[in-house]
Homo-oligomer: A and B are copies of this chain.
Amino acid sequence: VSGVDEAAPRRRLSRDDVAAEALRILDEDGLPDLTMRRLAAALDVQPSALYWHFASKQDIIAELSDRILARTPAPHAGEDWAESLHARALALRDALLAYRDGAEVVASTLALGLGTVRPRDAFARAIEDAGFAPDTAVRAATALMHFVLGHVSHEQERMQYESLGVRADAGDDDSAPDFRFGVDLFIAGLAALRPAGRD
């Protein structure tokens, strides 16, 4: 029995292994299929083993949220605040769309006060550049985050149910123009309400 490759040992699971496998399952099968039991099976380990590396499933999801958001690019210098905000909003949408159910993962993590708030702060900085006070900028940035997460969640849930054939597939599918319209509306609002004497 020496020539046959008997069950690979492959122990010493790392925290990073767990997160990477979870991200793979998320992207390939979606958030509802990302269960502790399925994750453990994919890693060839008992479910309880995961709790040595992460305190809870929600903590794993928070880690996924951070990884999804890590891909949002640094801003170009010298951009107009409106251009910058527009570009950041589109980049955030792209990052969320890059993983299946990305928006829901990030939204639920944000709601629990876990994970990074980098994208919101990036929005806020661009809005400060328009002349708004820091606390107002954070408020506006939060509103924009709600729009982005709501829009992309909706997009991704629709994709999910269309692929299952549940919803009537309306055919028309490119929601990028709708998204841009929403962002432009938001920016036009900021331009209209911003403190006078700024340019």
Q: Which residues of B contact A32 (CB under 8 A)?
A: none
Q: Mark A132-150, 1 if CB is under 8 A from B, else 0.
A: 0000100110110111011
- Total copies of this chain within the assembly: 2
Q: Mark A155-199, 1 if CB is under 8 A from B, else 0.
A: 001100100001110000000001001101111111111000000
Q: Which residues of B contact A153 (CB under 8 A)?
A: 111
Interface centre among A147, A185, A188 (most CB of B within 10 A): A185
* Contact yes or no, A158 B192, CB < 8 A: no
* Contact yes or no, B143 A182, CB < 8 A: yes
Is A112 in contact with chain B by the CB < 8 A criterion?
A: yes
B150, B185, B193: the one contacting A190 at CB < 8 Å is B185
* Contact yes or no, B146 A181, CB < 8 A: no
* Contact yes or no, A178 B111, CB < 8 A: no
Q: Which residues of B contact A149 (CB under 8 A)?
A: 150
Q: Provide the bound-state CA to CA distance between A186 and B193, in Å.
A: 10
Known contacts A147-B147, A147-B150, A149-B150; 16 further A-B pairs (Cβ under 8 A) = A107-B150, A111-B154, A112-B157, A112-B161, A112-B166, A139-B182, A140-B181, A140-B185, A142-B182, A143-B147, A145-B150, A146-B150, A184-B193, A185-B189, A186-B186, A188-B188
Q: Which residues of B contact A151 (CB under 8 A)?
A: 143, 146
Size of the chain A interface, CB-CB below 8 angstroms: 37
Q: Provide the bound-state CA to CA distance between A128 and B138, in Å.
A: 30
Is A9 in contact with chain B by the CB < 8 A criterion?
A: no
Tell whether A136 pairs with B181 under 8 Å between CB atoms, given A112-B161, A150-B147, A157-B112: yes
